[in-house]
């Protein structure tokens, strides 16, 4: 589904991302881990054509993202709060995305309705604008917004951060279910090694902009990762 070739991104002299080759097949749930500054958000931003590559190319479903905008039809994302419109109510925000993705209001209502459990009664019909919701609830809105319109590629940056423990568990279930049943390519990044190993079938570790590990998730993966990052903390 996604092919990255000879990708390089640098700011002036400083190289922040260098990926020679990375391929994410269709339907895979793909996890990206790494310390701060490893290049996770940069990679996702590049995939969404929010930043320009210095070299190389990224194709998403045969579309070179820097040349055509056709990838937008089947790709959704939630990276941070700049993906939310603060002065809308959650309902209006969902309708807005639904409108752009060709869903009627009743279809959006029905779709969003199934996340009532995930929202824990704190999001819908609260008579609040998104800007007045807590960080955690904003995140829930952003994640559900990114699921609207049956996308085949979903990109979520740090979906577990800022969520309370119960919601993290619900989100894990939701993402696992979503990636298995609907056959979508799911790309998430996380600092939480346990969550990411539970959700993703493949995990790639970025360090200083380069891929240092690419593993198919198994029972010992979590231990592997913990050992790796423990070593990193010794180095530094």
Partner 1 sequence: MEQNSIYTHKMMFQFVSLQWKSFTRSASFSTHLAMKILIGFFALYFAATFAIMGALVYPFIQNEMALDPLLTVNQFLIYGCFYWVVLRYFIQKTPVVNIAPLLLHPISKNKIVHFAMGKTLSSAFNWLGLFFTVPFSIVLVVEGHNWGGVLSWFVGVLSFVLSTNYLNLLINNNNKVGAIALSVLAVLGGLHYVDVFDITVYSGPVFQALYEHPIAASIPLILLVFLYRAAFSDYKKGMYLDGGLARQQTEAKTQDFTWLNRFGKTAVFLKNDLRLILRNKRSKSTALMSFFFLFYGLFFFTGSVAMYNGPMWFVFAGIFISGGFLFSFGQFVPSWDSAYYPLLMTQNTSYREYLNSKWALIVVATVFSWLLSIPYIYFGWDVFFFILVATVYNIGVNSYLVLWGGAYIKMPIDLTSNKKAFGDKQAFNVKTVLLSIPKLVLPVLIYFLGTLYSEQLGLALVALTGVLGLAFKNLVFTTIERIYVSQKHKTLWAYKQK
Site for partner 1, rule CB under 8 A: 48-52, 69, 72-73, 75-77, 79-80, 82-89, 91-92, 96-97, 99-102, 126-129, 131-132, 149
Quote the least distance from Cβ 107 to partner 1, whole Å: 15
Give the closest residue to 32 by CA, choosing from 232, 169, 233, 225. Answer: 225
Q: Residue ranges of the alpha helices (H) in 114-220? A: 116-119, 135-145, 165-181, 193-199
Residues contacting 41, CB < 8 A, separation 6+: 79, 157, 189
CB 186 within 8 A of CB 151: no
Quote the least distance from Cβ 102 to partner 1, whole Å: 8
The encoded tokens of residue 132 equal 């007045």
Strand partners for 186: 29, 154
The alpha carbon of residue 116 and the mean position of all alpha carbons in its chain are separated, in whole angstroms, by 21
Please identify, using beta-carbon distances, which residue of 157 and 200 lies nearer to partner 1.
157
Quote the least distance from Cβ 52 to partner 1, whole Å: 5
Quote the least distance from Cβ 128 to partner 1, whole Å: 5
Please identify, using beta-carbon distances, which residue of 131 and 223 lies nearer to partner 1.
131
Quote the least distance from Cβ 147 to partner 1, whole Å: 14
Please identify, using beta-carbon distances, which residue of 100 and 169 lies nearer to partner 1.
100
Quote the least distance from Cβ 158 to partner 1, whole Å: 15
The encoded tokens of residue 180 equal 């298995």
Please identify, using beta-carbon distances, which residue of 49 and 197 lies nearer to partner 1.
49
User: What number of CA atoms fall less than 13 Å from residue 154's CA on the CB side?
Assistant: 26
Please identify, using beta-carbon distances, which residue of 131 and 135 lies nearer to partner 1.
131
**How far apart are the C-alpha atoms of 82 and 126, rounded to whole Å?**
22
Please identify, using beta-carbon distances, which residue of 97 and 196 lies nearer to partner 1.
97
What distances in angstroms separate CA 155 from CA 134, 145, 213, 231, one per listed residue?
A: 22, 12, 20, 29
Percent composition of the chain: helix, strand, coil (DSSP 3-state, to 5): 40, 25, 35
Please identify, using beta-carbon distances, which residue of 52 and 216 lies nearer to partner 1.
52
Quote the least distance from Cβ 47 to partner 1, whole Å: 10
């Amino acid at each position: 589904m996604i092919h990255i070739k000879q990708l390089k991104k640098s700011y002036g002299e400083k190289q922040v991302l260098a990926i020679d080759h990375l391929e994410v097949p269709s339907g895979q749930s793909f996890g990206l881990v790494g310390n701060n500054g490893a290049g996770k958000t940069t990679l996702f931003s590049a995939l969404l054509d929010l930043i320009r590559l210095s070299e190389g190319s990224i194709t998403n479903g045969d579309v070179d993202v820097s040349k055509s905008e056709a990838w937008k039809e089947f790709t959704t994302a939630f990276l941070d709060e700049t993906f939310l419109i603060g002065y809308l109510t959650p309902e209006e925000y969902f309708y807005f995305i639904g409108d752009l993705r060709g869903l009627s209001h009743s279809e959006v209502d029905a779709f969003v309705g199934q996340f009532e459990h995930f929202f824990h009664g704190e999001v819908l019909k609260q008579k609040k604008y998104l800007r007045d919701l807590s960080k955690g609830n904003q995140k829930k809105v952003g994640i559900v917004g990114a699921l609207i319109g049956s996308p085949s590629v979903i990109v979520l940056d740090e979906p577990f951060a800022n969520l309370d423990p119960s919601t993290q568990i619900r989100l894990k279930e939701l993402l696992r279910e979503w990636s298995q049943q609907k056959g979508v390519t799911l790309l998430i990044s996380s600092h939480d090694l346990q969550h990411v190993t539970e959700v993703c079938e493949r995990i790639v570790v970025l360090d200083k902009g380069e891929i240092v590990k690419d593993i198919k998730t198994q029972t010992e993966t979590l231990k592997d990762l913990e050992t790796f990052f423990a070593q990193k903390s010794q180095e530094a």
